[in-house]
Amino acid sequence: MSADHDEQIVRDGFWPKLTRHAARLPFADDLLAAWYCASDTQTPLKVKATLFGALAYFVLPFDVIPDVILGLGFTDDMAVLITAVTLVRNHITQSHRDRARDTLDQLRSGSAATPST
């Protein structure tokens, strides 16, 4: 898959999947921070490709461990995301994390429409 393909998959599927699962994902803040960093025009292309690849793994319906398996379903998604975030951590700014936290609070309270970027 190309970086452009990963980005399109993520743009199409990220928000619907996140809003369905936000309340029960312990790594939702990292998902959102990765989204905001990958969508930031100031983020270098290699960093965007890394993050969109990890976010695509979260969005795509096939996994090493299916998401429907209670307690284990998102562990592989979390491992992929944490690895990507660790590799590019210097590019995920406090602003990305603040936006992620604010958006997650809104999603969990049911008061947010699906944000764009």
Taking residues 93-98, what's their average pLDDT? 98
Question: Average pLDDT of the chain?
Answer: 83
The reported pTM is 0.79
Taking residues 93-112, what's their average pLDDT? 89
Taking residues 95-100, what's their average pLDDT? 97
pLDDT attached to residue 18: 84
pLDDT attached to residue 88: 96
Q: What is the pLDDT of residues 62-84, one digit of tens each?
A: 655 555 455 556 788 888 899 99
Q: Which residues of 45-64 are buried (b: 16+ CB within 10 A; e: fewer)?
A: eebbbbbbbbbbbbbeeebe
